[in-house]
Structure 1
Amino acid sequence: MTQKAASFPPHLRLREPAEFKCVFANPERSTDKYFTVLAIVNELNHARLGLAIAKKNIKRAVDRNKIKRSARESFRLQQQAMTNIDIVVMARREASTANSKTLQASLDKHWLKLIKRCVTDS
């Protein structure tokens, strides 16, 4: 895999409030102890990631940043398998005490579940 193939450029991110609102409106949902992940099918030919890591759930900035890094890295590695879905990752309180390996494993399960659901719905 080349550096470019596994990158995370700006066009793969949800940035505008309207983009997040579309995902929150009627999503496919995947939840576990660490994350709630929402996804919808988009009209683009690539997946996009949005992060909604609330200060209410994860108090320390260090922990929020660790979770964001884990989510971005997991998405970056799995983006070849994803085609046209918009994803929003929301962290739960237990994520602040989990190590990076546990967070990666949790997110990998979410990606597989949501890819399967979104492909069958479209």
Structure 2
Amino acid sequence: YQFTRQQRLLKSSEYKSVFDQPCKSSDRYLTVLAKANARDYARLGLAITKKRVKLAVARNRLKRLTRESFRHHSLCLAGLDCVVLAKSGVAQVNNRTLLRSLAKHWQYLSRRCKKS
């Protein structure tokens, strides 16, 4: 399973459409925004900034875990564009907690945001 180019949000206009009218899921580590798209597959955008996660190693770990979690849940997210935003302090959280948090976000958004 690869994270292909078609599964990514690439253009600023694609990010803007998600930010304009999002379906939102949030906890103490992450905020995930989603919006229904006209496709039969899910797309992911990452907005994990240096302001929130200082070290490049931690940013890359967070991105890698997010992509992997998205890949596992992409079937239930089909038809959604998702953007993941990091909150301060997320770098200190272990991998298991992050994956659990992401799974809850994906489940919530798949129920709430489909074609709404």
Cα RMSD of the aligned pairs, angstroms, is 1.0
Q: Aligned residue for 1:36?
A: 31
Q: How does 1:11-30 map onto structure 2 within 5 Å?
A: 11-30=6-25
2:89 is paired with a residue whose SS is helix
1:54 Cα deviation from its structure 2 partner: 1.1
**2:82 equivalent in structure 1:** 87
Separation in 2, partners of 1:38, 1:20: 10
The SS at the match of 1:56 is coil
Q: How many residues align?
A: 116
Q: TM-score, normalised by structure 1?
A: 0.91
Match of 1:67 among 62, 66, 77: 62
CA distance in 2, matches of 1:41, 1:109: 18
C-alpha deviation, 1:94, in angstroms = 2.0
Deviation for aligned residue 1:49: 0.3
Return structure 1 stretches of 4+ with deviation > 3 angstroms.
Answer: none
